[in-house]
Amino acid sequence: MAAQDIELRPTSRSEAGERNLIDEHFEPTSNTSSLSPPDRGKDAWLFLAACFMVEALVWGFPYAFGLFQEYYSTHEPFASSKNIPVIGTCAMGIMYLSSPVAFGVLTKWPVLRRWFTFVGLFTMCLGIGLSSLCITVNQLIATQGVMYAIGGSMAYCPTILFVNEWFIKRRGFAFGVMWAGTGVAGVVLPLILQYLLHAYGFRTTLRVWSITLLILTGPLLFFVKPRIPLSQSPRQHRSARTFDFSFLTLRTFLILQFCNILEGLGYFMPSIYLPTYAQQYLEAGSLPSAFTLITINVASVFGCVLMGHLIDRFHVTTCILISTIGATLGTFLLWGFSTSLPLLYIFCITYGLFAGSFSSTWTGVIKDVQKKTDSVDAGLVFGILAAGRGIGNVVSGPLSEALTGGKPWEGEAGFAYGSGYGPLIAFTGITAACGGLSWAIRRVGWL
């Protein structure tokens, strides 16, 4: 029987609530043996492994921008230039903020999903390659920043949509494994890039990474594909679809997104300032100071996987509360009172486990929103949540400078609070606590 002649039947509404609204409520009534099973099997695990690597390679590079920032600031032809931090802000911030647009395009024209991954990979590699030729910071902003971010968003967003087809009952776990890729890259990639930068300079480093990215990611795209072929998907999945933004007015989404934005405002600050704090206040060397970030990234790998496992079993606000308690207490009690490097490392482990896993709760947010409006597309919800995190990424740079300018509280407070980073530590802890307000709101019946 021809694929287009297959009769399609909707699943029950309760089952649809557990499945993503990217048309998994529909399965062919015949030839189902031709489809790989969700949640299990060789194809599903190969797909997840490929997504893990794509996550690591796409997001790992901008997360390691601090190494380039230090190099550009101390080497010609950029040593005397301003706006060097804007390069990293553009690379990561645009990837976050462009997510709603990318998911919107892929929702309206599903046929573009696989093409996006290939075009995005080429754009990323081209942007990195061109940045090796740059002689001004503005050129780096355009290539290593904006161009890379556009390509990264195009290559990455389809993987989110495909995960929703490959994993249904174990979706939270799958996303947790996938997002752990950033943590792994945060451990390995900085060591490689730091060696290349100091041994061969930024031009060779960027060219080597451009070629490496193409070689490593290119073959993986063969496995980054939908489980249900477009020809066997429902008609509304094959053709251009209208957007359903009704979820933007739901109290559930508004509250969860507001808490997501608040948490994101302080989330990136430890990653920005911990190495400097360790060097200036604890008088640690460059390698022990850099190890603070590596420790956070290692812990976040385990945190994402564990949170993904929990989100499949408990309500989203319960999982958010777990993340909130660990991140808040860790920031106030461990970082705030750290006067030695071992205690600071304990904070890094705690922060990576709990704060680093916060984004893994997004699958629970999507599930909760879909229970209220089952016609909403999960990709759009994810895109808006990512944009909320992007706001925090963009704002955290100038905001952190304002919090540490003039070294406030220095000599006026005890422990780390009197180090000159006190307001930043307090702000990080407060925003982490605000991320868990949704749990309290649910307790009083407003959610």
> Which of 23-32, 375-384, 416-425, 437-446 is least confident?
23-32
Nearby residues of 332 by Cβ (< 8 Å), 6 or more positions away: 425, 426, 429
Please give the average per-residue pLDDT across 385-396, as a whole number: 87
Asked if 391 and 280 sit in the same domain, the reply is yes
Nearby residues of 400 by Cβ (< 8 Å), 6 or more positions away: 269, 272, 273, 424
pLDDT in tens, 400-427: 878 988 889 988 898 999 999 999 999 9
Is position 20 within any domain?
no
Is position 200 within any domain?
yes
pLDDT in tens, 298-339: 999 999 999 999 999 999 999 999 999 999 999 999 999 999
Asked if 222 and 250 sit in the same domain, the reply is no
pLDDT value for 373 = 81
Is position 46 within any domain?
yes
Asked if 256 and 216 sit in the same domain, the reply is no
Asked if 253 and 132 sit in the same domain, the reply is no
pLDDT in tens, 16-59: 444 443 344 344 444 545 788 888 889 999 999 999 999 999 99
Query: Smallest Cα–Cα separation from 318: which of 371, 364, 370?
Result: 364
Asked if 316 and 182 sit in the same domain, the reply is no
Q: What is the pTM of this model?
A: 0.82
Please say which residue of 206, 240, 274 terminates a domain: 240
pLDDT value for 310 = 94
Residue type, position 180, single letter: A
Query: Smallest Cα–Cα separation from 92: which of 409, 422, 415, 394?
Result: 394
Taking residue 12's Cβ as centre, other Cβ atoms within 10 Å add up to 9
Asked if 214 and 354 sit in the same domain, the reply is no
Query: Smallest Cα–Cα separation from 390: which of 77, 35, 62?
Result: 62
Asked if 195 and 261 sit in the same domain, the reply is no
Is position 168 within any domain?
yes
Please say which residue of 182, 208, 240 terminates a domain: 240
SS (H, E, C) 379-433: HHHHHHHHHHHHHHHHHHHHHHHHHHCCCCCCCCCCHHHHCCCHHHHHHHHHHHH
Please say which residue of 195, 215, 240 terminates a domain: 240
For position 255, which CATH number holds? 1.20.1250.20
Look at residue 10 and give its three-state secondary structure.
strand
How does strand 26-28 pair with strand 8-10? antiparallel
pLDDT in tens, 211-242: 999 998 889 888 998 888 776 655 545 455 56
For the chain, the domain total comes to 2
Confidence of residue 89 (pLDDT cuts 50, 70, 90): confident
CA 45 – CA 40 distance, rounded (Å) = 7
CA 341 – CA 279 distance, rounded (Å) = 10
Asked if 411 and 314 sit in the same domain, the reply is yes
Is position 266 within any domain?
yes
CA distances from 357 to 55, 163, 431 (A): 15, 18, 15
Is position 32 within any domain?
no
pLDDT value for 399 = 86
Asked if 212 and 361 sit in the same domain, the reply is no
Taking residue 190's Cβ as centre, other Cβ atoms within 10 Å add up to 20
Taking residue 32's Cβ as centre, other Cβ atoms within 10 Å add up to 11
Asked if 183 and 258 sit in the same domain, the reply is no
Look at residue 28 and give its three-state secondary structure.
strand
Q: Could you give the count of Cα atoms lying within 13 Å of 66 in the half-sphere of its Cβ?
A: 21
Is position 29 within any domain?
no
Asked if 282 and 160 sit in the same domain, the reply is no
pLDDT value for 48 = 93
Asked if 156 and 275 sit in the same domain, the reply is no
Q: Which domain holds residue 65?
A: 42-227+234-240
pLDDT in tens, 100-118: 999 888 888 888 888 999 9
132, two tokens:
């090796």
Is position 420 within any domain?
yes
Cβ–Cβ < 8 Å for 152, 237: no
20, two tokens:
């993503």
